[in-house]
Structure 1
């Protein structure tokens, strides 16, 4: 792949493609795993063997800000945009049948969008999921064919990539959130299968069975260790969950992602250099990276994350209301969102106050009867005391245990 030319900013016209299967988890898992490679003393391998691939798959961002020589020099921390695409790669297309038959439409929708905020001192990681069906304003963008898509006050979040590639997604997220996107990466279908196989599976909990013929996922209630295609189908499912919506799926994905963080940060993964190298290869080869996210910068981010405990990883859903003009869409809850961003910027422990309803994608696991709680003792160096998030901000931290609210009996 080293002979490939550097890609221009990817841009496409809005298209309909197969729905996303939850690249969320592979994005976070690959990011954490790849970045942690540096802590094993193999950064030289990443630089010499993967730098060419990373450069070939790079995309320029309009306004990533000035890059200091070291990650620690970012005042207030930094943000990484992780985007999952419905792209049918040749080596996995046979797993999806007719879903991958339309070659013109594959890979045009950014159906998973995460803004990962890494704070400075103390280090905390907050991952905010932006619902794909949220109607938002989007900037003027130009697609790969040179077609200009004018600024719009109302478009689905998952249309941004089709309007102008990864850079257009970054600009849309930045304008909506008011947060600067420092780095960005997009990933494709194959990463989920490869990452879960590489780490030996991820444990998930089902409060009720999942029966979803759309993804061919049929799981009994209880605990399962999923990898490969089974993990992929678990992340894709929404019809297999109570509620059957994309918001239900986000909650289910956060359960998986919390378990994934616990697994990736364990000695089982971090102590296996071969596994880390494999994860690094998956992350770079299955990714499209912003051109400022080179392997050495990835190694720096890894060093920034290596000592963050699972209790300081918090997964949140951007708050929304139902769209009064379209019941299948949602619109931003700007007041709750502003309070959420303010709390994140203060770098205090975050207290999720949202109480899960019966129609949500997950329920509390046995023994956990409340929403995820912040640590009782503030981390030294932080502003004292936890901050309560608005009730409309859903989420959990990686220490919280939840179970899928399946549609079966």
Structure 2
């Protein structure tokens, strides 16, 4: 399969009061990895500390910018810190990845600010499940009216690629667009740049990834050999940015390749080697919180710590990475409505999801790895089911009566953090 075609210029019939929607060539401009990892993995890292430890970290970060304060201690001489509990109920967090490079000249001057990676984290109300949805950058979606930052607003557009939203109306526009697309309320959001990825991979001493064959991508500088590779620093960033080196050379292949890395990173963070090492825990948490531009609702260490406590006991098998259902259309992709409705209705109803399809064009199961027991074939639907629930757009999603997970169609790709997968080299 050929790579996803070059981005088209903004459609002439779309009139807007805002800035023109800039595009960049797919071969001369290589898009970055910028992802939900900073928040998801940062809070998981913080969660490895005890409740008091999380509070101490949050208190320290707040106090660091203030005048030295008097420390209060208890009768045993131990520092007294406020208690922080888990965030109540379910919550959604969106992270957009800017391809601007954060002003770092080493990444070049792109002259525009596109969200080439957009991910949504949904944590269930019982804090037992976490779902991370990746939205393909070249997916055509409606963009609602967005604030222009000067008290006015930009006009809505009926059909544009989702990665234009960050340049069109900032992070608020990306959130509004994803809310319109998914029907979910998203109160928390952030933007992450290149350097944060490097710092996080360094903080844990590198991330082990499996590669099914040699990959050498001149566009990102990635050079890895078949087998297991421990990646950190620039090579970790190159691995997550590569598109030409994996799968079919498209952004869809890059999404599944990124999930190979993210799943391994989640396993690394949840391992005893990391959680028992306060230096690694602190370094990872610090790398995450220092590399993201956060919404006002999230720009608070106590809020992040509360999220950490909510995620603390989520099993890696219940951290699901899923690609937003899509299909090729024109020079991009379009949402696959029925499958998307099934996924979004499950999240709206706070149901965990079960993958029945493969991991995507950019990855495959590691040799000898067994599929998780929860990943049943699509034909194995529970015998007892509740009536279909109405999904956005008029379609329906079937939820098992016993409250167990909703099975996604087999054409929806992804993996759990418990699955060990390998990146697939580019095949023309």
The match for 2:306 among 300, 306, 314 is 300
The match for 1:189 among 186, 189, 194 is 194
What do you get for the CA RMSD once the two structures are aligned? 2.8
CA shift in 2, pair 1:385/1:119, >3 Å: closer
Q: For 1:127, what is the secondary structure of its paired residue? A: strand
Q: Which residue number in structure 2 is paired with residue 366 of structure 1? A: 367
- Alpha-carbon distance in structure 2 between the residues aligned to 1:331 and 1:93: 34
Q: For 1:208, what is the secondary structure of its paired residue? A: coil
The number of residue pairs the alignment matches comes to 364
- Alpha-carbon distance in structure 1 between the residues aligned to 2:423 and 2:140: 27
- Alpha-carbon distance in structure 2 between the residues aligned to 1:151 and 1:361: 34
- Alpha-carbon distance in structure 2 between the residues aligned to 1:384 and 1:163: 40
Q: Alpha-carbon deviations, 1:235-269, whole Å to 9, x = none? A: 01110013000000000101111101001111222
- Alpha-carbon distance in structure 1 between the residues aligned to 2:194 and 2:19: 18
The match for 1:20 among 28, 31, 49 is 31
The match for 1:332 among 321, 325, 335 is 335
Q: Which residue number in structure 2 is paired with residue 312 of structure 1? A: 318
Preserved contact between residue 124 and residue 347 of structure 1 (Cα < 8 Å): no
In the alignment, structure 1 residue 118 sits paired with structure 2 residue 134: no
Q: Which residue number in structure 2 is paired with residue 391 of structure 1? A: 410
The 5 Å alignment of 1:8-407 reads 14-16=21-23, 18-24=29-35, 25-34=37-46, 36=48, 39=51, 41-50=53-62, 72-74=87-89, 77-90=90-103, 92-94=104-106, 96=107, 100-102=108-110, 104-105=111-112, 108-121=113-126, 123-144=128-149, 148-293=153-298, 294-323=300-329, 325-326=330-331, 329-355=332-358, 360-368=361-369, 373-374=373-374, 383-407=402-426
> Which runs of 5 or more residues in structure 1 are unaligned?
1-10, 54-68
Deviation at 1:275, TM superposition (A): 2.3
Q: Alpha-carbon deviations, 1:344-375, whole Å to 9, x = none? A: 34555532111467xx10111112465x5527
> Which runs of 5 or more residues in structure 2 are unaligned?
1-17, 66-83, 377-381, 383-400
Q: Normalising by structure 2, report the TM-score.
A: 0.78
- Alpha-carbon distance in structure 1 between the residues aligned to 2:62 and 2:193: 18
Provide runs of 4+ in structure 1 moved above 6 Å: none
Deviation at 1:307, TM superposition (A): 0.9
- Alpha-carbon distance in structure 2 between the residues aligned to 1:34 and 1:399: 20
Deviation at 1:23, TM superposition (A): 1.7
Deviation at 1:279, TM superposition (A): 2.4
Q: Normalising by structure 1, report the TM-score.
A: 0.81
Deviation at 1:202, TM superposition (A): 0.6
Q: Which residue number in structure 1 is paired with residue 387 of structure 2? A: none
Preserved contact between residue 50 and residue 284 of structure 1 (Cα < 8 Å): no
Deviation at 1:43, TM superposition (A): 2.2
Which has the higher Rg, Structure 1 or Structure 2?
A: 2
- Alpha-carbon distance in structure 1 between the residues aligned to 2:295 and 2:49: 19
Deviation at 1:273, TM superposition (A): 2.0
Deviation at 1:83, TM superposition (A): 1.4
CA shift in 2, pair 1:200/1:40, >3 Å: farther
